[in-house]
Amino acid sequence: MFTSNEAQHSNEFAPYLNALHSISRTALKLIRYIPGSEIILRYIKSSHQNDPFRTLLELLLVFFVIRTWRQSRTRGDVGTGQNFVKLTEKEIDELVADWKPEPLVDPPLQSTQALSRPPIIIGPPTVRPKIIYGAAAERFRQSAENEDGIDPKDIKEVTNLASVNFAGLIGHEKVKAKAIEQLRRSGVGSCGPPGFYGTFDVHMELEQDIANFIGLQSSIIYAQGFSTTSSVIPSFSKRGDIIVVDRGVNFSIQKGIQISRSTIRWYDHNDLGSLEKVLEQLKLEEVKFRRKLSRKFIITEGLFESDGQLCDLPGIIKLKEKYKFRLILDETWSVGSLGKTGRGLTEYYGATSVDILLGSLANSFNSGGGFCAGSNEVVAHQRINSAALVFSAALPPLLASAASETIRILQDEDGQLRMKKLSKNVAILRDLLKQIEFEEELIQIPSHSDSPMIHLSLKALKSTTTDLSNFEEHEHLLQLIVDKSMQQKSLLLTRTKKVWEQEIDPSIPSLRICVSAGLNEDEIKKAGNDLIDVIREVLVHGDQPNATT
């Protein structure tokens, strides 16, 4: 029972309570006219019933947001804000004088500046291109690269062991004719990504040609060779997935695995024992930590760009099947250079159990861009999930026609003869280089005996050091060999060029020799003997540059 005082107080507050009740009922009626309001009201009622404290917290957050939004935003304004610090002219001058801006890019090393500028190739980089170098090349660069100003006396024909032309098909008349024919039909560019007006009939024909040539279900083509690998990897492997990678993989693979944000495990370069240890360790960790199922990949190269070695594909396939991994194989350098018909490492070993196979169209296929081959599901996944495919313009149609024609040549009798000739040329050159590799011990060759890409490094640098000053010294010696070979022997060579600071596992500086089927036996022998003479002149007779100049 209420006392008289309590009843009096309740009568005093009754009008206010009635007004509040009326306002709340009116507000609820108005809120119900808002689309979706019933859902919000049900959420508030259920959350308040289950957890009243949560409702209070959410109301406080709403009031905090409203208060923050209504606050003045001028506290940091120049000259008027509360936190603005006014400096005198003298203080401003002192700060400006002390400021030292960082360069946009790191300045080139002194040793790099001292290296000779490359020669200029006139026309396509065939097996016997014409070049200008030295003072003539400098005049050409300064004259806005006007070919009419070239003195015929400055032009020199050289034997090309620098360009990646393993099958010797650069400049082939049939390939040029197909490219010109397609150029007249569709113009130069594709004018859009593959999924948006960029696909031509020749693109689909090339994808089918590649799939048939490699021996897999399907394939897909990319407009840039480098971005093929660096885009395919993150399209399949995401955060939480596991990638096991060879330490000697090329820069494109390195970028691809970084972009993927996956868990990365490295194994020693071309070492199956190290690979199995890593796979076994991952298996034990899965059991110990009860990890969720994830996608797992082994990534390696067929023919390693860094040293010319071949991976043990049959051994890797056995391990990936034993530990339930998928295999991504980069055949950028091996397709068109290994195997009876140039189908790459899978044909060389007779092993076909590769889940995702990557390759370049810019090397032996006389074109540009790259490709990825695999099952129909692998290819279909990339059409909407691979960044380089979705956002980049498609491969120019004329390059697609050129690549298809090159594949047809490799598949016929002429292609098989070229692969036999390439293998023979490699054997001849390797036999000649034994003199300075084993007998005189001037160089070392880590490359596989069947590799058409031969790396020559100096014997003195047989180590795993990453001392850049040591690298620079030997790069000078290698560049001197390159320059003398061109000037004295008309032999076009190149050394491996890398940004050593960005390499995950820096390899040893080397000369990179690319053998071509377009050279005959006499030319290969002459090139080999000339190279040996220059190496002896530089390393034995003391004709060496000062590494600090």
Q: What are the boundaries of each domain within the chain?
A: 39-69, 110-168+415-539, 173-413
What is the pLDDT, as a whole number, of residue 112? 62
The answer to whether 483 and 116 have CB atoms below 8 angstroms apart is yes
Length of the chain: 549
What is the pLDDT, as a whole number, of residue 433? 92
What is the pLDDT, as a whole number, of residue 86? 82
Say which residues have a Cβ less than 8 Å from residue 352's Cβ, sequence separation at least 6.
215, 216, 346
What is the pLDDT, as a whole number, of residue 221? 95
The DSSP string of 307-363 is T--B--HHHHHHHHHHTT-EEEEE-TTTTTTSSTTS--HHHHHT----SEEEEESSS
* CA atoms within 13 A of residue 367's CA, in its CB half-sphere: 33
The closest alpha carbon to 300, from 248, 349, 261, belongs to 248
Count of other CB atoms within 10 angstroms of residue 435: 15
The SS3 call for residue 215 is coil
What is the pLDDT, as a whole number, of residue 15? 74
Class of domain 110-168+415-539: alpha beta
Say which residues have a Cβ less than 8 Å from residue 445's Cβ, sequence separation at least 6.
308, 430, 433, 437, 454, 455, 456, 457
| Residue 82 φ then ψ, to 5° | -70, -30
Which parts of the chain sit beneath pLDDT 70? 1-13, 16-17, 20-21, 47-52, 72-84, 108-116, 144-149, 460-470, 542-549
The DSSP string of 258-320 is HHHT-EEEEE-TT-HHHHHHHHHHHHHHHHHHTPPP--EEEEEESB-TTT--B--HHHHHHHH
| Residue 72 φ then ψ, to 5° | -65, 140
Crossing angle of helices 521-539 and 413-434, rounded to 10°: 30
What is the pLDDT, as a whole number, of residue 111? 57
User: Going along 52-192, which residue ranges are E strands?
Assistant: 120-122, 130-132, 156-157, 159-160
Class of domain 173-413: alpha beta
Look at phi and psi of residue 125 and say left if phi exceeds 0, alpha if psi is from -120 to 50, else beta.
Answer: beta
Which uninterrupted H or E stretch holds 7? helix 4-32
Residue 413 tokens, joined: 């009798």
What is the pLDDT, as a whole number, of residue 547? 39
